[in-house]
Structures are given as C-alpha cells and as structure tokens.
C-alpha cells in the first residue's frame, strides 16, 4: 500500500532578517511535515523561531528586512515559497487559515465584525452577501457566540478578549480550510477561557478533518492537544517526537528543562524552576550547540560541534551529541 503523502512538507526552511546590527537568522534549516487531520505542536521560548516559521509559510514576512533565504514548503503539490501571487491568494484564507496571537490587533477596529467575518466568502467563494451573512451567523454560533445575528453588527471593542478570539476562530474556519495555523491563540486569555478555546479548536478540527499547526511556549497546552511535537531553539528543531513519547522520555537537555519548568509538575511549596541565562543572539552565531552556554550537561565538544537532528528510535529525533553518544 502506498503511504499517504503529507499535506504539508517543509524542507530546509531558512528565514533571516537583515538589520543594521547584522543578519538575524530567525529560522535556520527547519524541516517537518504535517499529515491530513494531524495536529503538530511547535514549542519553544520566545524568539526560538516558531512564529517566523509559520509566517514564512503564509507569506507574511515583511520584506525588507525579512528574507526567505532558501528551502521549500510544499502544500498539496504547491510550493508556498515559490508560487505566484495569484496562487498564494487562492490558498491563503481559503485552504490555509491562521489564527493570530492578539485578536484586538488582528481585527480591524473600524469595521463591524460582520464585514470582516464574511470577507473570505466574498473573495474566495464569490458568494452573495445575503448567503455569506447566513454562513457568518452559523460560523459564530459554531464557536459558541450566542445572539450571533445581532453581535455580527458590533465592533471588535464591544467583545471581550475571549469572544474576540472566538470571532478569529470563526473567521479562520469559515471557508473550511484544510490546514489551520494557530499562533499562540490562548496566550492573553485566563485559564478558563483558554480551556474553552482549546476545546473549541479540537472540536472544529474533528468536524472539519483539518490539519493543525499549534504554536505555543506552553508544553502543558501541547500535551492535551497535539499528536506530534517539535521543539525549537535558536531557529532550529532540537527534538521531535510523538506527544506521548516526548513527555514520557524527553531526550534533549533543552526539552527536559522546558518540561521541568511546567509549574504543575513541580513539588508543592518548592521554588519554581527556570532555565538560567538567555537565548543566544542570532545575529552573532557561535560554533557548536546554541544551547550549550545554558546547558548544565554540556561538554567542551558541545561548544565546537553543531549537532544535527538525528533519529533516536521510531519517530523520535533530537540534536544532542552527548545523548547520541550515550553519555547522558
């Protein structure tokens, strides 16, 4: 039986920002794939390259100063990095959709929610406005917004933070996309609303059968939502595995440190653990493993050799020389 072709295959993606202080290598050789209906989590500290990776796929990197230096991102046979502007417009907002981190800055404050919500239908499906408004009401009701017909005529500032995020989800899913990219969609929300939004994404994914790339710095969120996880640090993937395998046996010292940082896993009354030091300055690349200066298990070789992402067992892979050598 021929194996299924992934919906999205990213190979050796490299994105840089050319600034006065130097070239900032935000994404440096990232490769991964996403199957239809699968949820892939991308985790890491702020500045690790998570969002830039997905902004590169969506063609949202400001150029200049940004520049996609190389690689490919093939979505259902179309390379997103080399397709024409017309091809990109036909895919973005229709077959590929994105939920952004802050709905207040993503929604236009001067337009009613109705006009923003139905815009993808008017553009991509050339739907009549009356029919689009009907679909818009259904989309808001599907994400748990009551009295949708009246609320569609409100402005974004008249919604709470959680409700604005629900509007963003409804807008992203109104064209029934095949791939949804969610860029830290619960960061600014309280715990209760966060749980509701995550359950909503999970429910709509089941109903539509779409693939999801979920970007977050919170490993706890990933544990209950994703099928696979890839951990990013300093623009590179340092570990990737199925969610259960990653949480059951993280291999890379950075992944172990991230997991140790989850408050719920720490002993009650103990001091909260945090990773010492700061991520490296990506405009001044140093030889060796970028995590070595912060790693309590680094050896002299770690500061001179850049480790490659290599398979460990099954679908588990990591980029740590000492773990591969069986030293830690």
CA 184 – CA 33 distance, rounded (Å): 20
Residue 288 phi, psi (nearest 5): 90, -170
pLDDT at 37 over 80: yes
pLDDT over threshold 90, residue 227: yes
Q: What is the mean pLDDT of residues 244-257?
A: 92
Mean pLDDT of 39-52: 92
Q: How many angstroms separate the CA atoms of 59 and 223, rounded?
A: 29
Share above pLDDT 70 across residues of the chain, in percent, rounded to a whole number: 97
* Predicted confidence (pLDDT) per residue in 307-327, tens digit: 889 888 778 999 998 888 777
- How confident is the model at residue 297, as a pLDDT? 87
What domains does the chain contain, in order, with CATH numbers?
A: 1-82+177-265+276-328 (3.40.50.300), 106-174 (no CATH)
Q: What is the pLDDT of residue 266?
A: 67
More confident residue, 286 or 69: 69
> How far, in Å, CA of 12 to CA of 308, rounded?
13
Average pLDDT, rounded, for the chain? 88
3-state secondary structure the chain: CCCCCCCEEEEEEEEEEEECCEEEEEEEEEEEEECCCCEEEEECCCCCCHHHHHHHHHCCCCCCCEEEEEEEEEECCEECCCCCHHHHHHHECCCEEEECCCHHHHCCCCCCHHHHHHHHHHHHCCCCHHHHHHHHHHHHHHCCCCCHHHHCCCCHHHCCHHHHHHHHHHHHHCCCCCEEEEECCCCCCCHHHHHHHHHHHHHHHHHHCCEEEEEECCHHHHHCCCCEEEEEECCEEEEEEEHHHHHHCCCCHHHHHHHHCCHHHCCCCCCCCCCCCCCCCCCCCCCCCCCHHHCCCCCHHHHCCCCCCEEEECCEEECCHHHHCCCC
Average pLDDT over residues 261-274: 74
Question: What is the reported pLDDT for 220?
Answer: 80
> Mean pLDDT across the stretch 31-57?
93
Q: Is the pLDDT of residue 236 over 90?
A: yes
pLDDT tens-place string over residues 143-173: 888 898 999 999 999 988 888 888 988 898 8
272 vs 155, residue with greater confidence: 155
Can you read off the two tokens belonging to residue 35?
A: 């199957």
26 phi and psi, to 5 degrees? Answer: -70, -35
Q: Tokens for 216?
A: 């977050």
């Amino acid at each position: 039986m021929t194996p299924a072709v992934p919906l999205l295959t990213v190979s050796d993606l490299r994105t840089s920002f050319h600034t006065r202080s130097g070239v900032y290598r935000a994404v440096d050789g990232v490769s991964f794939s996403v199957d239809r209906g699968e949820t892939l989590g991308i985790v890491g500290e702020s500045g690790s390259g998570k969002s830039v990776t997905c902004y590169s796929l969506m063609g949202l990197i400001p150029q200049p100063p940004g520049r996609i230096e190389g690689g490919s991102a093939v979505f259902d046979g179309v390379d997103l990095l080399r397709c024409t502007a017309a091809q990109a417009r036909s895919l973005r907002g229709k077959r590929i959709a994105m939920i952004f981190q802050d709905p207040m800055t993503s929604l236009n404050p001067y337009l009613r929610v109705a006009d923003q919500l139905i815009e993808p239908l008017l553009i991509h499906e050339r739907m009549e406005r009356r029919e689009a408004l009907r679909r818009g009401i259904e989309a808001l009701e599907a994400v748990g917004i009551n009295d949708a017909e009246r609320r569609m005529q409100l402005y974004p500032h008249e919604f709470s933070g959680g409700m604005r995020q629900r509007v963003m989800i409804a807008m992203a899913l109104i064209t029934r996309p095949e791939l949804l990219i969610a860029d830290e969609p619960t960061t600014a929300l309280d715990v209760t609303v966060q749980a509701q939004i995550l359950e909503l994404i999970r429910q709509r994914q089941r109903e539509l059968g779409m693939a999801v790339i979920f970007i977050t710095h919170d490993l706890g969120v990933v544990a209950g939502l994703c099928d696979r996880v890839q951990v990013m640090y300093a623009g590179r993937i340092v570990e990737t595995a199925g969610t259960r395998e990653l949480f059951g046996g993280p291999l890379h010292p950075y992944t172990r440190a991230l997991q140790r940082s989850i408050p719920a896993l720490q002993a009650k009354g103990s001091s909260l653990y945090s990773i010492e030091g700061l991520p490296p300055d990506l405009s001044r690349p140093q030889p060796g493993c970028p995590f070595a200066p912060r790693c309590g298990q680094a050896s002299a070789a770690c500061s001179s050799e850049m480790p490659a992402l290599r398979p460990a067992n099954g679908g588990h892979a990591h980029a740590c020389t000492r773990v591969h050598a069986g030293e830690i």
